[in-house]
Amino acid sequence: MEIDYAKAGLKVGLEIHQQLNTQEKLFCSCKPELFKEEPEITFLRRLRPTQSELGQVDPAAFFEFQKGIKIRYEANRATSCLVEMDEEPPHPLNMDALEVVLTAALMMNMQPIDEVHVMRKTVIDGSNTTGFQRTCIIASDGWIKVGEKIIPMQAASLEEDAARKTGTEDGGKTIRYRIDRLGIPLIEVATAPVIYSPMEAQEVAFAIGRILRDTGKVMRGLGTIRQDLNVSLPNGALIEIKGVQELELISKVVEYEVQRQLGLIQVKEELRSRGIKAEALTDEFVDVSEVFRQTKCKVIRKALDKKQSAMAVKLAGFTGLLKRELMPDFRVGTELSDRAKFWGRVGGVFHTDELPAYGVTAEEVEALRKTVGASEGDAVVFVADTEENILDALKAVVERAREALAGVPAETRTAKGDGTTRYMRPRPGAARMYPETDIPPTLITAELVERIRSNLPEPAEKKQARLMTQYDLNEKLANQLIDSEYGVLFEAIVKETGVAATTVAVFLTEALKSLRRDGVQVENVTDEQITEIFSGVGSGELVKEAVADVFVWLSKNDGKNLQDAVGALGLKMFSKAELAKLVDHVIAENRQSVDQMGKNAFGMLMGIVMKEVRGKADPGLVSALLRERLK
Amino acid sequence: MSKKAESSGYKGEALSALTKAGCQVGDVIRVTSKEKTYEGILIPRSETGDTEHVVVKLKSGYNVGVHVTPNVKIEKVGKGTKPSFASPPLPEQKPELPKAVILSTGGTIASRVDYRTGAVRSALSANDLYGVVPELSDVARVKTEIVFSIYSENLTQKHWSQLAQTVAEHINQGAEGVVIAHGTDTMAYTAAALSFALQNLPVPVILVGAQRSSDRPSSDAATNLIAAVQAATRGPFAEVGLAMHETPSDTAIVVNRGTKVRKCHTSRRDTFEPVNATPIARVENNEVIMLTDYYQKRDAAKKFVVKPEFSEAVALVKFHPGLDPAVIDWHVERGCNGILLEGSGLGHVSKYCFDAVSNAVKRGVVVALASQCIWGRVNMNVYDTGRDLLNLGVIPLEDMFPETALVKLMWVLGQTSDPEEAKKLLKTNIAGEFSPRTLPQEIGVKGDE
């Protein structure tokens, strides 16, 4: 489907979050690292929705609380202290983190705030032990240039990252979160909603990412950067899409969201032309367990065997609409099903637009329709589960069906790896922010701003030109370096190890890109390890041909160093003496040929020796030794 | 107008600029300087903040402080609503449930954000608490009363007396359990004081607090409060207890004896530890589980005695290397009737304090001793120093830790002015403050879970 986005009135705003590479977390002295081992400490909590200053309670939060949702937190001593456990008040704001945000903000031409006030943003899904995320605005009202267009930047904020979900227990009633990530400083940068096409959204995100990398103080790798999109259409709604992890996916996510909204608008119009009113969609749930007493459908069978039941609801006038595709592999029925999963904790719903199928027979569908009194134009939705879950699920289904009459419901969605999005939760109420009184306001003095302004990292264009002249790189390589996450590391390695700039640049750009494509976990190898590898090349312990092999080995072997890799891969270099011995041996073995060919035997001998020592000896040295012996 | 601006915490340059512009807290204002413009709601200023910034809540919800200089222009753009807190509706009372009373004294269990100091302040009434924790309506018919509204560090002996009398009134009116919401800092002192003042209780009296303020979703206030009301109305015991988290988890609330419990951590939820004792009960999954056989039984027919007098002429002197004995003399000169020495180890103070101690005893001051080790029992027969102190007339207070011992001394001297009678009373076990046996599992501070 070719869409004219300008005509459709698309508006996109971006919020980019990236973890900062500081020594400590934002509000305590724990290391900003994750752990993979079993947790040393666990504790169980409940979060209770509190009234905001305006007396409003987040509906999703209140619902979860009513359902008795518990959270089991996992921690270890290296990455969490009492602050993350919400057993101790936060320490003062990490000033290093503030300086990184200020740096990025000044690069985006923003105005620093005079006095920073940390706020509590209510987040009650368990991802924050406190029930709120601490966040503060550091600067506002800037701009960046993307191509020829000026993109206004609304604000740069500093906030704490959240705990990460590691699973659920007890049929979804207990959610597990690991608090290692909680408190890692994040920069959040938000643009105004002035982006008008999917591709432009991606380009702007790319440009912002480049500036953040230029600070040299942001983390890299999967999970360290997260893009949220605010997508709106004039007759649709403002949809908040959370957690797009890959830059390349942004344009697709926007494209799909526009398709989804246009599709929902069509559904609205069709419902209107069918004369369906909200009153026709009622919470009349009918027990249909009897219909499926003999069913071959495994899902329903399993539920009924557990003495659970099956209940159905009629959606007046919806027949044929539920199978309408809104995004690839995503139909109007999926919208209903997602709501049922969220509010009713069920695995999904069945609806008559997709039946007979899944072992449900035409006879059963007929009986089902009859039991709920559905006429030809009506769709029927049903669920098999516990009664509590069914009631919550079907209520949510009817609610969503009513919303279809109005078009696109405003909600928060989460991005999937294929670019489609799924329902995440309702849009939180406006009154989510209140002051974090445990942290005194922090001044951003004119002196601090001046110091940072006079030490800003060079902007990308300037840096590219400098890399080309200073390191004799071609334009393409210089460009790739700037766009990679390794621009800063490149210069450090060249300076420290003396390895040829082109060798380092090619490895950090093209080689890493292809390794990543081959599935190598590139982010597992630290800057220190990469530097160590090139130090090895510089000192002659390693040939440059072996760099990739060592890198791959290190990516698979946590906590090991260059020596371990060299040992494990059998890359120990031949010493000059050993090489000399080998050369002598090869000459002796091929005495006859050498005598016949004289100096012309070089090529052949070189081939034999190198076959033996490839990756473990510098070819230059072999050739020198060979020539000397052949004289 | 300017009066209102003053009460909003603004002073100096910021106050005069706001006054000049005719802006009040809650108004929508625009602040413009050379480089930037902020528009939003004028927020009160913390009193500890400087005089040069005004705080604006932006449309995004963020607060920012804007530096006020002569070049900065402040305008009022519109009238806004004042930040305020509306009480939620109270849940319905169920006639079949027991009658409980929740008394409020202030503190973290009942607090809201305070713009005045920029900190958390006690502000919710006991009534608010009930509305905010609607689950209570499934536990008891709750009556609430605000006795005080002060931080627990501002409570004195007078407040203990008043509180004891208020509790007694409610019990006499038929309360089947009393819960006292209290700041945690001095909650254990109050628990001990009430333990001595309320004797032969017919029903439980449970103190409860919170280590995380009730304005945050992770607050322990509600969980503790619900469990406290459950323990007060359903517990088979009739003593003064203190109910708080048992671990950092929200799963179990433990009730400790008022005379044997101490705040042992500045910030953790499980800050209250039983000292030289077993907890009385645990509340878990809405069940009250008894943890000991050693307790006073609930019995509505009991003859309840109230002895709410506490002396104010009692001092605590902590021994430390280099303590100036003149401190003891000073207390005696000031007319102190009782001194609690917080001795080292098994119960010692240095020889250079002996003259001062001896002088105090001769002047009719009751001098008693508890150990600063907190855990364990005083034994003054082991070393010379201990025996010498006994000979000087110092009363050893067994396995009472210093805070309970101090409160007991205040209470004893509130009952009698005769030193000999006071000493006798001091050595009598009134409210489980002495335990005859110290068991190995009760020694020491809890480590990490």
- Residue A254 sits at the vertex; the CA angle it makes with A252 and A259, to the nearest 5 degrees, is 95
Catalytically annotated residues of B? 108, 184-185, 263
Output A617 or B304, whichever has higher pLDDT.
B304
For residues B63-69, average pLDDT: 93
Of A44, A51, A141, the CB nearest to B88: A51
Share of chain B above pLDDT 70, in %: 88
Residues A89-141 pLDDT 10s = 999 999 999 999 999 999 999 999 999 999 998 888 899 999 999 999 999 99
Name the residue in chain B with its Cα closest to that of A53: B85
Tell me if the bond preceding A59 is cis, omega within 30° of 0: no
- pLDDT at position B47 is 75
For residues B263-289, average pLDDT: 96
Domain residue limits at B35: 3-78
Residue type, A575: S
Q: Does some domain include residue B440?
A: no
- What average pLDDT does the structure give for chain B? 89
Q: To the nearest whole angstrom, how far is the Cα of B413 from the nearest Cα of chain A?
A: 39
Q: Among B62, B211, B212, B249, which would you mutate to test the A interface (most chain A Cβ atoms within 10 Å of its Cβ)?
A: B62
Say yes or no to pLDDT of A294 above 90. Answer: yes
- Asked whether the beta carbons of B81 and B26 are under 8 A apart, the reply is yes
Cβ distance A120 to B248 less than 8 Å, yes or no, reads no
Sign for the CA dihedral angle at A490, A492, A493, A495 comes to positive
Q: Among A27, A44, A50, A118, which would you mutate to test the B interface (most chain B Cβ atoms within 10 Å of its Cβ)?
A: A50
Put simply, whether A428 touches B (Cβ < 8 Å) is: no
Structure tokens belonging to residue B254: 């433990």
How far apart CA B53 and CA B50 sit, in angstroms, is 7
For residues B78-93, average pLDDT: 65
Residues B355 and B294 in one domain: no
Cβ distance A441 to B49 less than 8 Å, yes or no, reads yes
Structure tokens belonging to residue A390: 């069914």
Residues B225-257 pLDDT 10s = 999 999 999 999 999 999 999 999 999 999 999
Cβ distance A61 to B222 less than 8 Å, yes or no, reads no
Residues B175 and B267 in one domain: yes
Q: What is the largest CA-CA distance in chain B?
A: 80
How far apart CA B24 and CA B38 sit, in angstroms, is 16
Q: To the nearest whole angstrom, how far is the Cα of B228 from the nearest Cα of chain A?
A: 18
Q: Does some domain include residue B241?
A: yes
Say yes or no to pLDDT of A421 above 90. Answer: yes
Q: In chain A, what residues touch B25 (CB-CB under 8 Å)? A: none
Name the residue in chain A with its Cα closest to that of B69: A114
Of B60, B217, B223, the CB nearest to A49: B217
Structure tokens belonging to residue A176: 């597990």
Of A16-30, A303-317, A330-344, B141-155, minimum mean pLDDT range: B141-155
- Asked whether the beta carbons of B202 and B228 are under 8 A apart, the reply is no
How far apart CA B108 and CA B105 sit, in angstroms, is 10
- What average pLDDT does the structure give for chain A? 91
Distances (CA, A) of A155 to A109, A534, B416: 10, 40, 69
Residue type, A246: E
How far apart CA A210 and CA A229 sit, in angstroms, is 18
| Phi, psi values for residue A277, rounded to 5° | -115, 160
CA neighbor of A421 nearest in space, from A585, A235, A252, A185 = A252
Put simply, whether A153 touches B (Cβ < 8 Å) is: no
Q: In chain A, what residues touch B267 (CB-CB under 8 Å)? A: 82, 87-89
Q: Three-state secondary structure along A281-310?
A: CCCCEEECHHHHCCCCCHHHHHHHHCCCEE
Of B67, B113, B248, the CB nearest to A85: B248
Q: To the nearest whole angstrom, how far is the Cα of A409 from the nearest Cα of chain B?
A: 21
| Confidence tier at A605 by pLDDT (50, 70, 90) | confident
Residues B234 and B260 in one domain: yes
Cβ distance A157 to B448 less than 8 Å, yes or no, reads no
| Confidence tier at B124 by pLDDT (50, 70, 90) | low
- pLDDT at position B1 is 37
- pLDDT at position B114 is 42
Put simply, whether A137 touches B (Cβ < 8 Å) is: yes
Residues B403-414 pLDDT 10s = 999 999 999 999
Q: To the nearest whole angstrom, how far is the Cα of B102 from the nearest Cα of chain A?
A: 21
Residues B166 and B291 in one domain: yes
Q: In chain A, what residues touch B269 (CB-CB under 8 Å)? A: 87
Cβ distance A55 to B88 less than 8 Å, yes or no, reads yes
Q: Where are the alpha helices (DSSP H) in A573-616?
A: 576-589, 591-597, 602-613
Put simply, whether A12 touches B (Cβ < 8 Å) is: no
Put simply, whether A82 touches B (Cβ < 8 Å) is: yes
Q: To the nearest whole angstrom, how far is the Cα of B214 from the nearest Cα of chain A?
A: 8
Residue A154 pairs in a beta bridge with: none
Sheet holding A442-443, edge to edge: A442-443, A115-116, B63-67, B53-58, B37-43, B28-32, B73-78
Residues A398-420 pLDDT 10s = 999 999 999 999 999 999 999 99
Say yes or no to pLDDT of B24 above 90. Answer: no
- Asked whether the beta carbons of B110 and B129 are under 8 A apart, the reply is yes
Task: Enter the pTM of the model.
Answer: 0.85
Cβ distance A55 to B46 less than 8 Å, yes or no, reads no
How far apart CA A175 and CA A45 sit, in angstroms, is 10
Q: To the nearest whole angstrom, how far is the Cα of B355 from the nearest Cα of chain A?
A: 45
Of A129, A141, A434, the CB nearest to B36: A141
Residues B65 and B34 in one domain: yes
Cβ distance B64 to A432 less than 8 Å, yes or no, reads no
Residues B265 and B353 in one domain: no
Put simply, whether A446 touches B (Cβ < 8 Å) is: no
Of B58, B86, B218, the CB nearest to A131: B218
Say yes or no to pLDDT of B115 above 60. Answer: no
- Asked whether the beta carbons of A100 and A22 are under 8 A apart, the reply is yes
Residues B69-84 pLDDT 10s = 999 999 999 886 655 5
- pLDDT at position B3 is 42
- Asked whether the beta carbons of A17 and A225 are under 8 A apart, the reply is yes
Residues B129 and B256 in one domain: yes
Residues A486-545 pLDDT 10s = 888 899 999 999 899 999 999 999 999 999 899 898 888 988 999 999 998 888 788 888
Of A87, A432, A437, the CB nearest to B268: A87
For residues A10-34, average pLDDT: 96
- pLDDT at position A180 is 97
Check which CATH number belongs to the domain holding B418 and give it: 3.40.50.40
- Residue A185 sits at the vertex; the CA angle it makes with A181 and A189, to the nearest 5 degrees, is 120
| Confidence tier at B122 by pLDDT (50, 70, 90) | low
Say yes or no to pLDDT of A59 above 70. Answer: no
Q: Among A42, A67, A109, A117, which would you mutate to test the B interface (most chain B Cβ atoms within 10 Å of its Cβ)?
A: A117
Of A47, A88, A113, the CB nearest to B217: A47
Q: In chain B, what residues touch A89 (CB-CB under 8 Å)? A: 267
Element (H, E) at A443: strand A442-443
Q: Among A84, A86, A143, which would you mutate to test the B interface (most chain B Cβ atoms within 10 Å of its Cβ)?
A: A86
- pLDDT at position B61 is 83
Put simply, whether A597 touches B (Cβ < 8 Å) is: no
Total number of domains constituting chain B: 3
Residues B211 and B135 in one domain: yes
Q: In chain B, what residues touch A154 (CB-CB under 8 Å)? A: 60
Name the residue in chain B with its Cα closest to that of A435: B63
Chains A, B: CB contacts under 8 A, how many? 129
| Confidence tier at B59 by pLDDT (50, 70, 90) | confident
Q: To the nearest whole angstrom, how far is the Cα of A437 from the nearest Cα of chain B?
A: 5
Q: Does some domain include residue B436?
A: no
Q: To the nearest whole angstrom, how far is the Cα of A308 from the nearest Cα of chain B?
A: 25
Q: To the nearest whole angstrom, how far is the Cα of B323 from the nearest Cα of chain A?
A: 33
Share of chain A above pLDDT 90, in %: 67
Q: In chain A, what residues touch B39 (CB-CB under 8 Å)? A: none
Q: Where are the alpha helices (DSSP H) in B297-417?
A: 326-333, 354-362, 384-392, 402-415
Cβ distance A87 to B269 less than 8 Å, yes or no, reads yes
Q: Where are the beta strands (DSSP E) in B222-280?
A: 240-245, 252-257, 261-263, 272-274
- pLDDT at position A586 is 87
The DSSP code sequence of B299-333 is -TTS--EE-----S-EEEEE--TT--THHHHHHHH
Of A447-456, A586-595, B65-74, minimum mean pLDDT range: A586-595
Q: Cβ–Cβ contacts within 10 Å for residue A145, how many?
A: 10
How far apart CA A587 and CA A605 sit, in angstroms, is 7
Check which CATH number belongs to the domain holding B74 and give it: 2.30.30.520
For residues A258-286, average pLDDT: 95
Check which CATH number belongs to the domain holding B157 and give it: 3.40.50.1170
| Confidence tier at A578 by pLDDT (50, 70, 90) | confident
Q: In chain A, what residues touch B266 (CB-CB under 8 Å)? A: 88
- pLDDT at position B128 is 67
How far apart CA B149 and CA B146 sit, in angstroms, is 7
Cβ distance A441 to B65 less than 8 Å, yes or no, reads yes
Element (H, E) at A259: helix A250-273
Residues B248 and B117 in one domain: yes
For residues A251-266, average pLDDT: 96
Q: Does some domain include residue B94?
A: no
Say yes or no to pLDDT of B130 above 70. Answer: no
Cβ distance B62 to A137 less than 8 Å, yes or no, reads yes
- pLDDT at position B41 is 86
Residues B186 and B230 in one domain: yes
| Confidence tier at B154 by pLDDT (50, 70, 90) | very high
Q: Does some domain include residue B83?
A: no
Of A53, A86, A89, the CB nearest to B218: A86
Name the residue in chain A with its Cα closest to that of B81: A54
Put simply, whether A114 touches B (Cβ < 8 Å) is: yes
Domains along the sequence of chain A with CATH: 5-271 (no CATH), 277-416 (3.30.1360.30), 458-569 (no CATH), 576-630 (1.10.10)
Say yes or no to pLDDT of A55 above 50. Answer: no
Share of chain B above pLDDT 90, in %: 71
Q: Does some domain include residue B16?
A: yes
Name the residue in chain A with its Cα closest to that of B116: A437
Element (H, E) at A446: helix A446-453
Residues B301 and B370 in one domain: no
Q: Does some domain include residue B445?
A: no
Q: Does some domain include residue B393?
A: yes
Residues B152 and B274 in one domain: yes
